[in-house]
Amino acid sequence: MVDKVNKTDDQWKKELTPEEFEVTRKKGTERAFTGRYWNNHEKGYYKCVCCGNDLFTSDTKFESGTGWPSFWQPVSDANLQKQSDKTFGMDRDEVVCARCGAHLGHVFADGPKPTGLRYCINSASLKFEKK
């Protein structure tokens, strides 16, 4: 299991950009097609921008057409947590970093094979490391 990371908003504010803070700590959403990774095709690893937890790899990234980085499988289910999100009158599954609680995005059941899942993730929640 991963060690938990607990920091106050003031600490996070010092380490993150205003947009990263708004998305990861306040459950914000970046505007579609504006993030740094939706159109990134390089091989590598996507880590949590807050704590460096391994979340996704380029091998499971796919073109969803949504304007957000989309993946059909995380590196490990243990690295993410799913929780019900009923805001905005919708019934969605929010995904957060299991280590620091950062809001990442949502997971939907309309993804490609083999999982059929679509992890729709904010670029602002991710830090890409080239392989």
97 binds Zn ion (CB under 5 A): yes
CB of 24 to Zn ion, least distance (A): 8
48 binds Zn ion (CB under 5 A): yes
Whole-number Å distance between alpha carbons of 10 and 117: 35
Q: How many other C-beta atoms can be found within 10 angstroms of the C-beta atom of residue 125?
A: 27
Full DSSP string of 24-50: HHH---PPTT-SSSTT----EEEEETT
Of 75, 100, 104, 107, which one interacts with Zn ion (CB under 5 A)?
A: 100
Phi, psi for 108 (deg, rounded to 5): -120, 160
Of 16, 50, 80, 126, which one interacts with Zn ion (CB under 5 A)?
A: 50
Whole-number Å distance between alpha carbons of 105 and 122: 6
120 is catalytic: yes
CB of 71 to Zn ion, least distance (A): 16
Q: Which is nearer to Zn ion, 95 or 117 (CB)?
A: 95
125 binds Zn ion (CB under 5 A): no
Contact (CB, 8 A) for 130 and 43: yes
Binding mask 6-45 for Zn ion (x = CB under 5 A): ----------------------------------------
Q: Residue 18: enclosing H or E segment and its boundaries?
A: helix 18-26
Residues involved in catalysis:
120
Residues lying near Zn ion in the complex (CB under 5 A) are found at 48, 50-51, 53, 97, 99-100, 102
